Structure 1
Amino acid sequence: MSTESAAKRIKTNPSSPLIGTHNGHFHADEALAVHMLRLLPTYSTSPLVRTRDPKVLETCHTVVDVGGEYDAQKNRYDHHQRGFGTTFPGRPTKLSSAGLVFMHFGKAIIAQKLGLPANEASKDVDLLYSKLYENFVEALDAHDNGISVYDPAAIAAAGLEKRFSDGGFGLGAMVGRLNPNWNDPKPQDPSEAQAAEDDKFLVASQRIGEEFERDLDYYANVWLPARAVVQKAFDRKSEFDAQGRVLVFDGQSVPWKDHLYSLEDGNPSTLYVLYPESPAPGAKWRIQCVPESKDSFVSRKPLPEAWRGFRDAELDGIAGIEGCVFVHAAGFIGGNKTFEGAKAMAEKALQG
């Protein structure tokens, strides 16, 4: 694309810094990078130019995923240059343009979401900063840099093969399939053709941006408030078991696994979690075994084998505890009509 045709598509606005990225086939990393920048007041109305022309890129305030330069002081965020190996703090994955933009602007985006000043120190901002990177952005960095989830050599050595196709529907594939197809009609005029491609890029940027914002909303409005509830229960563990092996939610359960493993800080002492099925008065209670890890189906200490698969009065007789409702055949969860009954189930299970 010529400098002239690129310049024609730039809507100048002195108060809105011009963002530049490359044209041609687009990827998830720069699509998200552009969306994240536009979440901030500085860039909220910024125009975008997609080009590989160095002269046009020189006119841009901020450039992502093109230009062969990473220099935050100059607002240059490319990762393709030889020798680039920057990673997010505490993580091993080489950054893409998404990771670079998130590393430099993520805390401001999160602080804005939480209604906090951008530069104010905050444990909550720090928590969400790490959480969003590890659970969303890092996958895009790995995808764009050709890094597999598992070591391919180790997979081959183990003789493991995929049992079925997963459809390739990750975040990267979602954006990739929004690119123009090879046989789509293409305008003859170069400026019109580029404008049509840019329109598709904006759709992709909005699409992956919606997924990012959905995660941001969840972690800010659901995950983070749950942490306070888990922290309160964690601090009271010794009230229910001298060794702190039982966690009790008083009133309502929340998503607890992430927070529990974090609060344990390498000391996996909690074995059972007790919680009411609902906040309603007289609600039944559950006893759930803590898995060995967040995604594991193996419990640290399953409920007794003799209880598994039984219900109601029959289970009462086997367990020697009144009010039993059920114990799952896999032994990872059970129920009782009352808190006292669920607590008795935990106490007896601990003895086994």
Structure 2
Amino acid sequence: MAAVLETVENAAKRLKTEVMGAPITIGTHNGHFHADEALAVHMLRTHIPAYAHAKLIRTRDPAVLATCHTVVDVGGEYDAAKNRYDHHQRTFDTVFPGRGTKLSSAGLVYMHFGKEIVARSIAAKNPAAADASASDAAVDLIWNKVYTSFIEPVDANDNGVSVYDPAALAAAGIEKKFSDGGFTLGAMVSRLNPNWNDDAPSDPVAAQAAEDERFLTASARIGEEFDRDLEYYTRSWLPAREVVESAFKGRKEIDTAGRIMVFMGQTVPWKDHLYTLEEAEGETGQKVLYVLYPEKPAPDAKWRVQAVPLTKDSFQSRKPLPEAWRGVRDEELSEKTGVPGGVFVHAAGFIGGNKTFEGALAMAKKALEM
């Protein structure tokens, strides 16, 4: 990670030199605000030391914006060398490396400053981490992961990109079964804008100040969610990688075909890492079907048997627990499985439990053959 931090320090020095001691100003548009510039401003002011005390100016006046050190989501220009990060130009088509979604101002700021943000977060959350956890490769890994998990949905929302192709859905006759509430990251910020019939100060200066306060609230709100995402990936998800890799390598000691993976101490975030390890192994490798883990890190903990989902967010499993076990509990479950210590099997068959590791393992092995 030394190379990343060295680049970060050089960038910070460049910013300091550019402003020559004057306070840095960040410009963005006034009026109705959106998730992308709210997040862009948060990332700069919260995670980049050079912007820690930056003044925020919300305006569409080109003459005022020209005086700003950095401008996001307005101004009609994308030029990182000049600290201009707008995406509304007709010719703009920049995407994050390896992705296809056009960037918003959030994506632009993250693309240019994200590695510094990630590197600082890793250093802060894992000060005694092994070199493997604090490497340039780890920074790249989380930089990409945070983009796809958090930033890309903001980019897509701001650029009007749907998760699925609407035409393809219509052609297939697929409709929503229910309303999901529409509570996206974009909606979370949008609802903090004033309502059409809210009282507003008659004085233009006071009205703008009130609007700016709402924007700062929105920036802090989406920023809080971004910070949680960043902390999760640096503090929890990244250290889990080695734990999952160890369990993956040892799975054939549990089941010679490698269909069962076990976490003996406690469970960790495993799905992303499992899919990555399987992908690296190639098509010839046997997919893991069940993952076993204790409910808590204690000697007397009950054990879970979880069917591996088809994808991280899927409700469908590669091999659900047997239908005859589903929705059954306790002694009745023990009778149906032939394994003592049964606790439950979910009605959907994606997870079950037993009082002991031996019992959970026996359930998993029996399920493999059914």
TM-score, length of structure 1 as denominator length = 0.88
Give the Cα–Cα distance (whole angstroms) in 1 for the partners of residues 210 and 34 of structure 2. Answer: 16
Does the CA contact (< 8 Å) of 1:16 and 1:44 recur in 2? no
Q: Which residue of 1 aligns with 2:308?
A: 290
1:259 counterpart = 2:273? yes
Give a deviation string over 1:312-348, Cα, whole Å, max 9, x none.
4444444333333333343322222322222222222
Shift of 1:272: 0.8
Q: Which runs of 5+ in 2 are unaligned?
A: 1-18, 128-133
Report the Cα distance in structure 2 between the residues aligned to 1:79 and 1:183, rounded to whole angstroms: 31
Among 85, 94, 105, which residue is 1:97 paired with?
A: 105
Residue in structure 2 matched with residue 320 of structure 1 by the alignment: 338
Quick one: structure 1 residues 57 and 303, their matched pair in 2 at CA, closer, same or farther if it must change by over 3 Å?
A: same
Q: Aligned letter for 2:151?
A: V
- What is the alpha-carbon distance in structure 2 between the residues aligned to residue 126 and residue 200 of structure 1? 34
Greater Cα shift, 234-243 or 173-182: 173-182
3-state SS of the aligned residue for 2:269?
coil
Q: Residues 184, 334 of structure 1: CA spacing in aligned structure 2 closer, same or farther, 3 A cutoff?
A: closer
Aligned pair partner of 1:109 in 102, 117, 121: 117
**What corresponds to 1:33 in structure 2?**
40
Following superposition, which runs of at least 4 residues in structure 1 exceed 6 angstroms of deviation?
A: none
Match of 2:261, SS state, is strand
Which residue of structure 1 aligns with residue 319 of structure 2?
301
- Kindly provide the CA deviation profile for residues 239-298 of structure 1, in whole angstroms up to 9, marking residues without a partner as x: 112221110001111232222112211656101111112221132222211111122222
Residue in 1 that maps onto 2:148: 134
Paired with 1:326 and 1:23, the residues of 2 have a C-alpha distance of 55
Cα drift, residue 126 of structure 1: 1.7
> For this pair of structures, how many residues does the alignment match?
339
- 1:149 and 1:128 mapped to 2: Cα distance? 22
What amino acid is the match of 1:184? D
Partner Cα separation in structure 1 for residue 135 and residue 300 of structure 2:
43
Pick closer, same or farther for the CA change 1:172–1:326 going to 2, 3 Å.
closer
* Paired position in structure 2 for 1:18: 25
Tell me how far 1:183 sits from its aligned partner: 3.2
Q: 1:193 aligns with which of 203, 207, 232?
A: 207
Question: 1:311 Cα shift?
Answer: 4.0
Q: Which residue of 2 aligns with 1:246?
A: 260
Say if 1:346 and 1:255 are closer, same or farther in 2 by CA, change over 3 A.
same
Between 195-204 and 325-334, the greater mean CA deviation after superposition? 325-334
Q: Aligned residue for 1:156?
A: 170
Q: Which residue of 2 aligns with 1:339?
A: 357
Deviates more, 1:91-100 or 1:192-201: 192-201
Distance 1:190 1:150 in 2: 42
Q: Match of 2:59, as an amino acid?
A: T
1:222-237 correspondence to structure 2 within 5 Å: 222-237=236-251
**What's the CA shift for 1:215?**
1.5
Unaligned runs of 5+ in 1: 1-11
CA positional deviation for 1:79: 0.3
Shift of 1:162: 3.7
Alpha-carbon distance in structure 2 between the residues aligned to 1:313 and 1:198: 62
Instruction: Give the letter for the 2:264 counterpart.
Output: D
Cα distance, 1:285–1:16 mapped onto 2, change above 3 Å: same
Match in the other structure for 1:5: none
Matches within 5 A, 1:8-87: 14-39=21-46, 40-87=48-95
| Aligned CA-pair RMSD | 2.3
**Residue 344 and residue 181 in structure 1: after superposition, are their counterparts in 2 closer, same or farther (change >3 A)?**
closer
Higher normalized helix content (fraction of residues) = 2
Distance 2:194 2:295 in 1: 49
The aligned counterpart of 1:3 is none
Paired with 1:25 and 1:305, the residues of 2 have a C-alpha distance of 52
The AA in structure 2 aligned to 1:33 is A
Instruction: Decide which moves more: 330-339 or 280-289.
Output: 330-339
Residues 55, 223 of structure 1: CA spacing in aligned structure 2 closer, same or farther, 3 A cutoff? same
User: Would you say the 8 A contact 1:132–1:215 is kept in 2?
Assistant: yes
Question: Given the alignment, which residue of 267, 273, 283 partners 2:291?
Answer: 273
| Cα shift at 1:121 | 5.0
Distance change (3 Å), C-alpha of 1:38 and 1:333 = same
Once residues 183 and 312 of structure 2 are traced to their aligned partners in structure 1, the CA distance between those partners, rounded to angstroms, is 23
- More deviation in 107-116 or 134-143? 107-116
Closer, same or farther: CA 62–300 of 1 in aligned 2, 3 Å: same
1:122 matches 2:136: yes
